[in-house]
Chain A
């Protein structure tokens, strides 16, 4: 029997069960690697936190030939996500979590009504193993982050901690082109300047909103920023720009850059 299997695990392999734990059952959707790394980082998972929201998205049409944000749709996407996220966070607060790791945010269209969208936010609530409260968000509640367990470990080891999952959304109507401008560009390569500027404006609005959220969370920066462009069953010419990332702050005990180990280069010979 190799000595590297701890005694408790060895007992269980013999078929002996330890008495029922006093702490209750924790739930999480971590993979094995995530689970081990989150523990290695000094945290313990305590429970899955879920927030859902079924939302009826209002109706708004962009005027045919105008670039414009569709505020009704923007607000709907924003509000519904906010509701799902805040419910998830409320669950985490209720179970005494210091934070939520690996938040996944999904949108599903309910098949019987094109205006009904279901928003789900799900992540694993964690507590610091030694009861350190310094990892909580600025309002004393749990931090939120869409980083995986592996990224969470890496973030802490690069000297930062997650504060809040921040996002910005903008649903935008891109103007249709008039017949005359269509004719004028026939047979020529030309930039469609109003399309380009539509992209610029919509993207700018979404990013700006995300940055405002990060500033409100008193964060120093945002990591893992991702821009999505998507359409949730709207007319053509309507697109949602969605920016998402994790707002971060330096650790209370900052790690000097020279203390951070360089990654080792390897070349795997698989495949």
Chain B
């Protein structure tokens, strides 16, 4: 089709087709919006997942061929790659919006997994499109729904944020990765007595700020444990994010400090006392690359540009 074709009058059939397409899209949008309210999986997605579930449609997986091999040796069969999104606007709290956003997305992902008749979702990744639209962000989870040979579909599928190989390693050690836990907390501190201001020129700890920081962090971690408790008995944390800001007080009011902390983790349901069943052999890879046997850091530093500030 050339650019000029766009301006040609279209045939009645083509016009009717375009109208039908628009109507279908509107219908789908309405159904998606409706599903977001009821918590159901949108009809089109449900139809696709059910097709994959009973083999009418081909299976889909985010796995690489090597991962597929590992899946097969462990009796795992991919069903469909599934996803869930929640686009949140931070009306009252940026920090706690993160916790709400991920929780909602996680819930929706589990619903899709159930619709696919899965026992687990593996290789779950957290995604966000880089569009900074007003005060909002999308919380998206993508992963592959799998079933375990010989098991009935689960009414409570697990969500594993780890790739297939790690998933099977964990299972063999009787550790089940179950989901994602988020702890988020923020607090404002008004420095009424000017305790955070340092006038003395010497070394001293800013105890007010240290303590303030401790409180924020402890609250966030308490939230993490709370969020994890519903899903398992432990977490492997992979995101620890913290920030502190100072704000000038208005109309001669004292300064204010904002501290916020977000911690995100994979929850696990682990049995104690059952060690990893494989024997561990030390291997040195003769291929160039980081191994503790040849050093894990850059060997020569002289001609590299300086290390970024912040590292120690």
B286 adjacent to A5 (CB under 8 Å): no
* Chain B positions 213-249 with a Cβ under 8 Å from a chain A Cβ: 213-214, 217, 221, 224-225, 228-229, 232-238, 240, 242, 244-246
A55–B43 CA distance with the chains assembled, in angstroms: 57
A119 CB to closest chain B CB (Å) equals 9
A32 adjacent to B74 (CB under 8 Å): no
Could you say which residues of chain A place their CB within 8 Å of the CB of B157? 15
A106–B242 CA distance with the chains assembled, in angstroms: 12
A261 adjacent to B282 (CB under 8 Å): yes
Q: Which A residues are within 8 Å of any B CB, using their own CB?
A: 1-2, 4-6, 8-10, 12-15, 17-18, 20-21, 23-33, 35-37, 39-40, 42, 44-45, 48, 50, 52-59, 72, 75-76, 79-80, 83, 105-113, 115-116, 118, 120, 122, 129, 150-151, 153-154, 157, 226, 228, 230-233, 242, 244, 261-271
Asked if B203 is at the interface (CB within 8 A of a chain A CB), the reply is yes
B217 adjacent to A57 (CB under 8 Å): no
A6–B282 CA distance with the chains assembled, in angstroms: 26
B237 adjacent to A25 (CB under 8 Å): no
Per DSSP, chain A at the interface is: mixed
A28–B181 CA distance with the chains assembled, in angstroms: 12
A112–B217 CA distance with the chains assembled, in angstroms: 21
Asked if B67 is at the interface (CB within 8 A of a chain A CB), the reply is no
A221–B235 CA distance with the chains assembled, in angstroms: 33
Given A50-B217, A154-B282, decide whether A31 and B236 contact each other with a Cβ distance below 8 A: yes
Given A36-B173, A45-B234, A107-B310, decide whether A1 and B273 contact each other with a Cβ distance below 8 A: no
* Chain B positions 137-158 with a Cβ under 8 Å from a chain A Cβ: 148-152, 154-158
How big is the B interface, by class? 35 or more
A-B interface pairs (CB < 8 A), number: 226
Known contacts A10-B151, A58-B204, A115-B198, then 12 further A-B pairs from the complex at CB < 8 Å, ordered by chain A residue: A5-B74, A9-B174, A31-B238, A35-B236, A48-B221, A56-B205, A129-B273, A228-B307, A230-B309, A263-B284, A266-B286, A267-B285
Could you say which residues of chain A place their CB within 8 Å of the CB of B176? 8-9, 12-13
B270 CB to closest chain A CB (Å) equals 8
Asked if B37 is at the interface (CB within 8 A of a chain A CB), the reply is no
A61 CB to closest chain B CB (Å) equals 11
